Amino acid sequence: MEVAQGEGESTPPGGGGAGGSGKKKKGRETAPRRSAVSQRRRKGDAAAARGARTILDPLPRRWVARLTYSVPFSARRSDTVSQVADGVPAQPLKAEPPADYTGEAAAPVDPAASALKQCWDAVNSNPDDFAAWEALIRCVESVPNGLNHETPAQYQSSLHEAYDRFLARFPLCFGYWKKYADDELAFSGPEAAEKTFERGVAAVFNSVDLWTQYCSFKMEHFRDDVEGIRQLFQRGAECVGLDFLAHLFWDKYIEFEESQGENSLVLPVLERIIRIPMHQYARFFEKYTHVYSARPLAEVIGAEQLAAIEAQVREAAPDKVHYGVRLDVRRCVPSDAEIDQQVRLRVHEIKSEIYTRTQAETLKRWPYESEIKRPYFHVRPMDEAQLANWVKYLEFEETNAVEKQAEMANAATAADGTAPVVDEFDSKADRVEV
């Protein structure tokens, strides 16, 4: 009875016995275990997805599309994520490049080389485009660290080619001859620059600016070659000395002779200048007067002419009355100082006559010179008014200049006994660029 009662009390309502009770407990234990595995799988897939996004983000979009739809989702994960569901480590994700990928990096583009090529293309397509040539010159001179003797050979070669071709087409551009010489000085030194200057004055022989710059260069870099510098100035005077605006050249010539420390060398240059009609003729005559007044008369005027002037002065000396114990009227001989003073006054009169003639010739030319707006070469055509003025100026010189200036030179030579300067006066028609 006791046993039966114990068994009955231990049985839950509804029956089933011990076996039924055991099955129910087993079912409650297995259900949570299956849920945990499923949860771990879901977490693994999420981690894989995050890893895949980390890898795919920096890749091109066309690669991402191919990888996203061709790789199983369980494999779309980082190298450190394992396949939790299968228990097999995931293979590293490898992105395949496109079929046209060669494996070689693209060569970097050199902006300087690209700009130089564009400039060359421009001048080759239109060699008469002056602005394109200017751009090319600026480009070839834009060298890293500036132009100097350490500039690489390819830069020097490019610059030489650009200048040579440009100046062959526009040889009268005196400013670019000077720039070319400066670049040669930086590359190779004074000797190379001198050769460029020689090419320049041969191409545009009547440029006051270029001759002045050339002589200045010679004075600076060949200062010991005094005779060579003097000969260069003499060459320049033959080419540009008669130019109406030649005062810059003559100023440099006088500066050179003064640097030698003797005014006796300056005087012949000034003697030459005061006979030339030019813009600043009065300033040069004032300097000439200042210089010759401090020099012996034998340097100012020829020996024969000086003797003739002295004789005239002595002959014109006034009579003087000497009062003594008795009245005695006699001729008194002037002193040497008085004679010298009178001779100098007579010489000054002669030089003033030269000044007056030079002034008159200058004023004749001023109406034409004052209308010249561009006394240098440029590729832009002149307007009709400028061309008409040049034509009238040339006609004036052709009919008046040679004979009038030769007459003036001969008259001056006869008056003061200096060397003839007829060759100094030549027609402006030979040196004017229209």
pLDDT in tens, 162-203: 999 999 999 999 999 999 999 999 999 999 999 999 999 999
DSSP state letters, 234-278: HHHHHHHTT-TTTHHHHHHHHHHHHHTT-HHHHHHHHHHHTTS--
Show Cβ contacts of residue 201 under 8 Å, excluding neighbours closer than 6 positions: 207, 210, 211, 214, 236, 239
Using N-to-C axis directions, what is the helix angle for 303-315 and 336-369, rounded to 10°?
A: 120
* DSSP reduced 3-state for 281: helix
Nearest C-alpha neighbor of 70 from the set 89, 47, 94, 51: 94
**CB burial class (10 A; 0-12, 13-18, 19+) of residue 209?**
middle
Nearest C-alpha neighbor of 44 from the set 86, 85, 73, 88: 85
Do residues 318 and 331 make contact, with C-beta atoms less than 8 angstroms apart?
no
pLDDT tens, 384-415? 999 999 999 999 998 886 565 555 555 444 44
C-alpha–C-alpha distance, residues 73 and 130, integer Å: 67
pLDDT digit string (tens) for the chain, length 434 residues? 444 444 444 444 444 444 444 444 444 444 445 555 566 666 655 655 555 555 545 555 554 444 444 444 444 444 444 444 455 555 555 556 566 556 565 555 566 778 889 999 999 999 999 999 999 999 999 887 788 888 888 889 999 999 999 999 999 999 999 999 999 999 999 999 999 999 999 999 999 999 999 999 999 999 999 999 999 999 999 999 999 999 999 999 999 999 998 778 999 999 999 999 999 999 999 999 999 988 888 888 888 888 888 888 888 766 555 555 454 545 556 677 888 888 899 999 999 999 999 999 999 999 999 999 988 888 888 899 999 999 999 999 988 865 655 555 554 444 444 433 433 334 344 444 43
DSSP state letters, 33-70: HHHHHHHHHHHHHHHHHHHHHHHHTTS-HHHHHHHHHH
The alpha-carbon radius of gyration of the chain (Å, integer) is: 51
